[in-house]
Amino acid sequence: MPQPDQRSLRPPNPPQDTHSWHSEGVEEAKNKAGSSGHKKHSWMRTIISILVAWFAFFMLFSWMQDSMNPVVSLPYNVYYQQLENDNIDTISSNGDTIEGEFRNSFTYDGVTSKQFRTERPTWADDSMASLLQKNNVEITAVSPVTSTNPFLTLLFSLIPIVAIFGLWYWFMKKQMSGTSSLFGGKDHKPINPENNRVTFDDVAGIDEVEDQLREVVDMLKHPEKYTRLGAKIPRGILLEGGPGTGKTLLARATAGEANVPFFSISAAEIGGILAGKGASDVRSLFEAARKVAPAIIFIDEIDAIGRSRSNANSLTSNEDREQTLNQILTEMDGFSATNNIIVIAATNLAEVLDSALTRAGRFDRTITVSPPDLNGREAILRVHTRGRLLAPTISLADIARSTPGLTGADLANLVNEASLLAARKQKRWIEMSDFTNALETIQLGVQRAVVMDPKERERTAWHEAGHALLGMIQKGADPVRKISIIPRGRALGVTLSTPEEDKYGYDKDYLRGRIIGALGGMAAEEVVLGVVTTGAESDLQTATGIARQMFGRWGMSDKIGPMQVYPREGDPRAAGASDALLHAVDEEVRTLLSECYTEAKRLLKEHSAQHRALVEALLMHETLDEDDAYKIAGIPRQPTAAEQALEPTPASGGTPHTAEN
């Protein structure tokens, strides 16, 4: 089979024009002529605009001067009459023109002024000279009338134009520079290494995250070890997690360990009120980083500019934010992207970010930074207490055990508050009581000096004792740590319950118990006092929120089924939920809250003696600790899951049975 001619597969050559050079020259000349003509017309328009504005300001200033210093033009006979009435103070004559000032303001033809001007007829035969002398009128060589100088007016009218164009030029220069903010600029400069002495030694409690970032540091220090095998350094790392979990600290530690220039910026700082400013800021930031590469760019709260453009919430977006996002996408994975810059971004809402931003090639790794566990909290406390004077009786393990759910920032604040309390009391060192009081202040609020009415104080005691008692008698409920009727923050009383171990998942029974405990205060007021007060507002909010999450997000309803009705944010109707489905969720929530409230009242009636004992103790001591509360109520503490695991399990024969190796 004959092979096709390879040349026949190519597109035909364009026809050759022997005079193509001439036509190109003509087009170029036309373009140049058009460009020069456009510039000429542009300059002409600018000059005409300036002249028109100049004339307008000149007329305005002239009118203002005339309005501020009006001159009355008088007929000669009126002037002579004012002279006879001795109302002329000063005059000046220039030929037949007479100008002067009245002694008192005079109104003529709707104009009131102390200055006048008139013309003396050449044929006038009067005794003006004798009258002037008789009335002691001052005759001057210089006219007393304030006259406008057209040249000075013209000069002053030019000042606003110069000021406007000067401000416009300065504003546009700042805007086009791309390295400045709206009303003043600064170049993007790396953080001084002397000011960033944070390393991984200052990070604790998140070892798995630290290990992933150590690999990035090693890539920056020894890139040849990875490029030799064809590996590429990640262009972007997204740190997502709740507030205070240490995302910014991790970014600073990464830069400190790698010993490379570190650029830090918040997404809220990018942009301004002018369109295109955000994209210009991003462009200048990456240009500054390229000059000193390898470098690290840290963008905090990137969800402020990186939200998804495809969901319903994008209706509230603006063009400048989308331009800023597009510029970030281009800089991270475009023709101008470089492998020597690593972008580390932090966000609390990774699920709302645009998919084009989180795809591989831009943010190659997404690292979740979670609150620390028990061992992590102890390690974080050890870091933050370095160099502090601690009492020998302090146990960081006990403090960590009593602070479930606290983040690294919360623990740092706890240590600082304890130090302040000890310093305020002029102690030799920080004691365990300082940590306990600081934790109460953080979790419960600052004590208020409020003088409570005895009836209000008793009602608060019944309310808080109801919360505490239901927390004690329910199986699997969180242990009650403290009960207090001392006003703290916005509350008149508080009951603190925290889990013994860290919890990462909750079943329906546990959440139902949480709702019963939350409604215990309201139920106690109704059962004992026969009233329901506004003090239950926070409790109802908590209980309703848990119930809505159970049925609207966590699929704990047999009637609704395993589906999510409420999205993480936004209107559920926009996510596709029908009115009938939302009504079903509301019915489930209302039914559960009603059942839990009935159960709370039943339990309080059955344990009324224990309830009263707690109230009497609270009225006497105002605050009850964990051990005292359980002892007064006569209720043994429920063993934790860890304690239950250590207990021997009875075998079928009734004898203790232990597991054998």
The set of catalytic residues is 464
Q: What is the distance of C-alpha 314 from the center of its chain?
A: 19
User: For 416, left (φ over 0), alpha (ψ -120 to 50), or beta?
Assistant: alpha
Q: Helices in 106-149 by DSSP H: which ranges? A: 128-134
Rg of the chain on CA atoms, in Å: 42
- The answer to whether the Cα torsion of 54, 58, 61, 63 is positive or negative is negative
Q: Helices in 181-318 by DSSP H: which ranges? A: 207-221, 224-227, 247-258, 277-291
Rounded Cα gap, residues 603 and 605, in angstroms: 5
For 558, the 3-state DSSP assignment is coil
Q: Are 438 and 414 in contact (CB under 8 A)?
A: yes
For 478, the 3-state DSSP assignment is coil
Helix %, strand %, coil % for the chain, to 5?
A: 50, 15, 35
> Hey, what are 450's tokens?
């409020």
Q: Which residues contact 124 (CB under 8 A, 6 or more apart)?
A: 76
Residue 230 exposed, middle or buried by CB count within 10 Å (0-12, 13-18, 19+) = exposed
Rounded Cα gap, residues 157 and 40, in angstroms: 26
Q: Helices in 445-574 by DSSP H: which ranges? A: 454-473, 508-518, 520-524, 537-552
> Hey, what are 504's tokens?
């990462």
For 54, the 3-state DSSP assignment is helix
Q: Are 429 and 389 in contact (CB under 8 A)?
A: yes
Rounded Cα gap, residues 56 and 23, in angstroms: 49
Q: Which residues contact 328 (CB under 8 A, 6 or more apart)?
A: 282, 299, 305, 306, 357
